[in-house]
Copies of this chain bind each other. A is one copy, B any other.
Amino acid sequence: MTASRAMQGSGKVRPGTRQKVVDAAQRLDYIPNLAAGTLATNASHLVAVILPNLSNSIFADTLQSISDSLRDSGYQLLVGYSDNSPQIEESLVRTFLSRRADAIVLTGHMHSEHTNALLKNADIPIVEMWSVSEEPLGACVGISNFDAAYSMTDYLCRKGHKSIAFIGGLLENNDRTQSRLHGYRAALKDHALPVDEQLIRDVPFEFEDGSLAMRELLAVGRKIDAVFAASDILALGALLECNRQELSVPGDIAVAGFDDERLASLIKPSLTTIGVPRSAIGSKVADIVLSTLRGEPVEERVFDMGFSLVERESA
């Protein structure tokens, strides 16, 4: 018992005794068994994070920032990728609970019914990130994807575009792209522009899919003077397809993206897009988790970190 107290530093142990213990530990190459500690205290010092994937670098940035903020507090990251599947997400949540994660961070607020039930019963901090929601399970840190998409569409309208297409990424099970689509529709409506369902494309999140969607849009035969893609990757794909078809951007077609990935500013023409405070989201998430675990009650539940419209050359 004294050894235990000496090692974890908290309890009252005479300095001399502590030293003896530490020396012995050193000499014996002692490696504590955190599983035993977890079993005894029901605290794992693990923060579980569920992301859709990592190939999309925006999530990598957020994860990095969560990790950075957590490092000094002795928490480790347990990471899972849901691949946008509520089933996979559910099974991840189940294992994370089994591991007695001290907190669970999820992306978005579309979960299976079971997942919701599990998370509600779990007596640990739950944080949903990337989209703000009126009724988060626990806390919630993100931006209003609706407002951001509305702003961008509004911006395109004000620039005089009349026929604006939308390329969404995996709308099913993805509240972020869904909200963006809603924002797009709402803005068109407010500008008294018709919503042409033919100009709305739902494709996966890869670069090539952006090109494909663009090709399909051009094949529809309508006159299109702008394209708003729900992610920079898709926008880039679209942009490249325009190049191939010798359409000038933004002359013939304006192209706008979402996320402000690094490459958005590097390509020609540089991409007009929505800037999202990816790292700020991550550190806020970590803040909330840490505060809650320390027992400091977090006053607010919903944190809107705000977005920015980054005006560049493409639109």
Known: A33-B100, A60-B60, A263-B266. 16 other contacts (CB 8 A): A31-B94, A31-B98, A34-B98, A35-B35, A35-B38, A35-B99, A36-B39, A54-B54, A54-B61, A54-B64, A67-B79, A79-B79, A236-B266, A263-B263, A266-B267, A267-B267
**Which of A31, A68, A80 is the most central at the interface, judged by chain B CB atoms within 10 Å of its CB?**
A31
- Binary contact track A36-61/B, C-beta < 8 Å → 1, others 0: 10110000100000000111010011
The 6 closest A-B pairs by CB, nearest first: A35-B38, A263-B263, A54-B60, A54-B64, A34-B98, A35-B39
B53/A100 in contact, CB under 8 A? no
Q: CB of A135 within 8 A of chain B? A: no
Does A312 lie at the interface of the complex (its beta carbon under 8 Å from any beta carbon of B)?
Answer: no
A-B contact pairs, 13 of them (CB 8 A): A31-B97, A31-B98, A32-B98, A34-B100, A35-B36, A54-B67, A55-B61, A67-B80, A76-B78, A78-B78, A240-B266, A267-B268, A268-B268
Count chain A residues whose beta carbon lies closer than 8 angstroms to a beta carbon of B: 43
Contact residues in B for A81 (Cβ distance below 8 Å) = 64, 67-68
B100 and A35 form a contact (CB under 8 A): yes
Interface SS, A side: helix
Chain A interface residues toward B at CB < 8 A: 29, 31-36, 38-39, 44, 53-55, 57, 60-61, 63-64, 67-68, 71, 76-81, 88, 94-95, 97-100, 121, 207, 236, 240, 262-263, 266-268
**B residues near A61, Cβ cutoff 8 Å:** 54-55
Residues from chain B with Cβ under 8 Å of A32 in the complex: 98
Complex: how many Å from CA A68 to CA B54?
11
Complex formed: what's the CA distance from A35 to B78 in Å? 14
CB-defined contacts of A63 to chain B, threshold 8 Å: 54
A168 and B236 alpha carbons, distance in the complex (Å): 29
Q: Chain B residues with Cβ under 8 A from A67's Cβ?
A: 54, 79-81
Contact (Cβ within 8 A) A99 B34: yes
Give chain B residues whose Cβ lies under 8 Å from the Cβ of A88: 71
A33 with B98: CB separation less than 8 A: yes
Expressed in whole angstroms, the Cα–Cα distance for A128 and B260 within the complex equals 33
A215 to B70 alpha-carbon distance, docked (Å): 36
- What separation, in Å, do the CA atoms of A98 and B94 have in the docked complex? 23
Chain B residue with Cβ nearest A88: B71
Report how far A39 CA is from B100 CA in the complex, Å: 14
- Closest Cβ of chain B to A275, distance in Å, is 16
